[in-house]
Structure 1
Amino acid sequence: MPTVETLEAFYQKKLAWVPANLQSELGHFNIFKREEICSTSKPAPYSRRDYYKISLMIGDNRFHYADKSLEIRGSALLFANPQVPYQVESLSDQSGFFCIFTESFMNRSWGTRLTDLPVFRPGGHPIFLLDEERTRIVTEVFMRMQTEIASEYAYKYDALRNYVLELIHFAQKAEPVTTHYQHANASVRISTMFVELLERQFPIESPQQQVRLRKASDFAGQLSVHVNHLNRALKEVTGKTTTILIAERLVQEAKALLRHTDWNVSEVAYGLGFEEPAHFNNFFRKHTKMRPTEFRVV
C-alpha cells in the first residue's frame, strides 16, 4: 500500500521547514511555483496526500491514477483530492504553479463537500488540457493568488478561497482529458484505489455512522470501471474476488465492534450497512461459524 503524504511531510521534504500554524482550525492554504518544487530526476512516489491540490502543469508529464495513465504534452490543469493516490512523472523542464489546501480551509465559506464536485470526485476525470489562451487565464489566477497571499490584506484568505473557486468553475466548464492508456501496473493501481476507498469507511466510531460502499458495483461506480474489470484486477493482485475482500473487511470491523464496544447487535448491523439485524446475523455466522452474541462472550 502506498503511504499517505501529510502536509507536514510535504513541507519537510520539499522545503525542510514546517509552518507553525499548519494545524490551525482555520485550515491551511499555500501556493508554489512548480519549477521550484518539482523534480524531473526523482518523481514523487505513487501515493495519496491528505490535502487537496490544484496544479497548472506547463511541460511534458505522465500522470498515473487508479488504473489509468495519461501522457500530457504542453499545459494542463490537475485537480488532486485526498482519496485518490496518484503520481506525476515530469518528462521535461517544468513551469507553472500549484496550490495546496485542506477541506477545512474551503469549508469556512463553502457548504458543499469538495469531493462532491466533478473535478474532485473519486472516479472522475481530474485533468484538463489547456490551449494558449486558457493557459494565460489560469496563470493570471495563480499570479493573483501569489500576490494576495503575500499581502497584508485582513481578508486575504477569503479572496484566496474565491480564486480557488474560480479555478474549479473554470475547469468544470471545460472538457476533461478522457483518453487513457493502460499502464503496466494497471491492476496494482486499481487494487490500491479499491483498498483506499474500502479503508476510508473505517473505523466506525458511532452508532450513527454507516458504511455506504458495500457491493462490488458500488466500488466499480466510484472508480468508473466495469464491475468485471474491477474483479479481474483484484483477482490478479490479491487472488480474491471483490465480494470476498469486502466481506472480510466487514467481518473484521464487526469483530472489533462486538469486542470493543457496548453497542447492541442492531447498532453494529446498522453501522456495517445491514438494514435488518437478521441479515447481519446470517452474514456473520456464514463467515465465522458463530452468531454475533456468541462471539461477544468468547
Structure 2
Amino acid sequence: MANSERIESNSLFQLYQALNLSVELFDLAEGFTVFNLNEIGFELPYVSDSFRPNFFSFLFVKNGNGKYTIDEQTFEVEPHSIYFTNPSNYRTFSWNKIDDVLLITFDETFLKKYIGEEVYTDFPFLLTEIVRPKVVTDTFFREVEAVNSLILDEYRKNTIYKYRVIGHLLAVLLFKIKEHIWTDYNPIYEGNRSSQIIISFKRILERHYRDLSSGKIDVVFRVQDYATALNLHPNYLSSVIKSKTGKNITAWIAEKTLTEAKSLLQNDDIPIKEITYKLGFTETAHFSNFFKKYEGMSPISYRKSHHP
C-alpha cells in the first residue's frame, strides 16, 4: 500500500488482501482472523496508509518495535507490549522491526455470536477509542501467549466447532487482559470532552439495540433521541461524531442496525418478520431493502448462507 492513499474503511478481508496475505483460512461468514506479522514479509521500515478499520484488533508484540498513530496521537510499540484498537478513527502504523508480533482481529458480530450479547458489559474497554500500548511482565506475557497459541492452533483446523472454541478462548484472553491491565477501567473518564461524548454515544447505541432485540422497546432512536439522552444539541452531537470518527451519526446507526440484523438472522428460530419489527422497521420490504443496500444480498439469502 502506498501511504498517500486514505482508505475509508477496511474490512478483515480487505486487510488480508492489502497485506498480500493468503485468504485460504479466511471464512467470509465469520469475522475472525489471527496471524503473525512476520508471515507478511514487510519491507522494513514500513509505513501504512491511513485507514479506518471496521474490526477490533489486539497486537501481542513479543519481539518487535514500531509506532501507531490515531487521532493525532502517536504511541511507541515495543517488545512485550499488548496493544488494542477498535473500529473508530483513521490511523496509521509503522514498523522498524518485526520478529514475533501476533495480530488477532474480530468484528462485533463475532463477539455477539460467540461470546454473548453482554460482551460490552463484561469488557467495557472494548468501547474506548484510544488505549496506550501496555508493556507487561514476562510472566503475564507467557500466560497470554499460551492462550494465543491455542487460538492459532484452532484457527488452522477445519472442525465443526472451530469458531465456538475460538470464541471461548477469546473470552479467556479478554478476561485475563481485563484483570491484568484494565481491572477498574471506566472509558467514560478517558480522554477529552469529545472522546467522552463518543464513548457515551456508543454505550447508548449498544444498550438501545440490545433493548430492541430483547423486545423491551419497539421504537428506534433517531439522532434527536441520542442527542436528548446526552443533553446535547443534535447538530453538535453530529459534528463531534463526524469529526472524531470520520462517520456521521446516521452511518453509525445504520451499521449498528446491520450488525444486529446479521446476528438475529443467524438464528433460524426467529422469523424475518419478527426481526423486521425488532429493529424498528414497519414493513418487511423496508428491512429487506435496507439489508440489501448495505450487505449486497437479501435477508433470506444471508440466512441461507449461514444455514445451508
Shared fold (TM-score, shorter chain, > 0.5): yes
| 2:16 aligned residue | 11
Which of 7, 31, 34 is residue 34 of structure 2 equivalent to? 31
User: Which protein has the bigger helix share?
Assistant: 2
| 2:258 aligned residue | none
Identity of aligned residues (%): 14
Distance 1:94 1:209, change over 3 A: farther
Q: RMSD of aligned C-alpha atoms?
A: 4.2
- Per-residue deviation, 1:32: 0.4
d(CA) in 1 for partners of 2:68, 2:105? 18
The one-letter code sitting in structure 2 at the alignment partner of 1:101 is F
The one-letter code sitting in structure 1 at the alignment partner of 2:38 is E
1:103 corresponds to 2:108: yes
Conservation of the 8 A alpha-carbon contact between 1:3 and 1:48: yes
- Per-residue deviation, 1:86: 2.9
Which of 215, 222, 229 is residue 210 of structure 1 equivalent to? 222
Conservation of the 8 A alpha-carbon contact between 1:29 and 1:101: yes
Distance 1:115 1:2, change over 3 A: farther
Question: Matched residue pairs, number?
Answer: 210
Give the 3-state SS of the residue equivalent to 2:160 in structure 1: coil
- Per-residue deviation, 1:247: 11
d(CA) in 2 for partners of 1:247, 1:104? 22
Distance 1:242 1:157, change over 3 A: same
d(CA) in 2 for partners of 1:132, 1:103? 30
| 2:80 aligned residue | 75
Post-superposition Cα deviations, 1:229-268, rounded to whole Å, max 9, x if no partner, equal xxxxxxxxxxxx967946999xx98xxxxxxxxxxxxxxx
| 2:143 aligned residue | 137
Which of 152, 174, 178 is residue 172 of structure 1 equivalent to? 178
| 1:127 aligned residue | 133
Give the 3-state SS of the residue equivalent to 2:227 in structure 1: coil
| 1:231 aligned residue | none
Give the 3-state SS of the residue equivalent to 1:56 in structure 2: strand
Give the 3-state SS of the residue equivalent to 1:120 in structure 2: helix
Conservation of the 8 A alpha-carbon contact between 2:70 and 2:92: yes
Structure 2: give runs of 5+ residues left out of the alignment.
1-5, 186-193, 206-217, 244-248, 251-279, 281-308
Post-superposition Cα deviations, 1:165-207, rounded to whole Å, max 9, x if no partner, equal 122111111236x9xxxxxxxxxxx89x97xx89xx8xxxx96
- Per-residue deviation, 1:138: 1.6
Give the 3-state SS of the residue equivalent to 1:15 in structure 2: coil
TM (norm. structure 1) is 0.56
1:47 corresponds to 2:51: yes
Q: How does 1:197-236 map to 2 (within 5 A)?
A: 208-211=220-223, 214=227
Distance 1:245 1:152, change over 3 A: closer
Which of 79, 91, 97 is residue 92 of structure 1 equivalent to? 97
Conservation of the 8 A alpha-carbon contact between 2:69 and 2:75: yes
Conservation of the 8 A alpha-carbon contact between 1:28 and 1:105: yes
d(CA) in 2 for partners of 1:247, 1:155? 39
Question: Which one has the largest radius of gyration?
Answer: 1
The one-letter code sitting in structure 1 at the alignment partner of 2:103 is F
TM (norm. structure 2) is 0.54
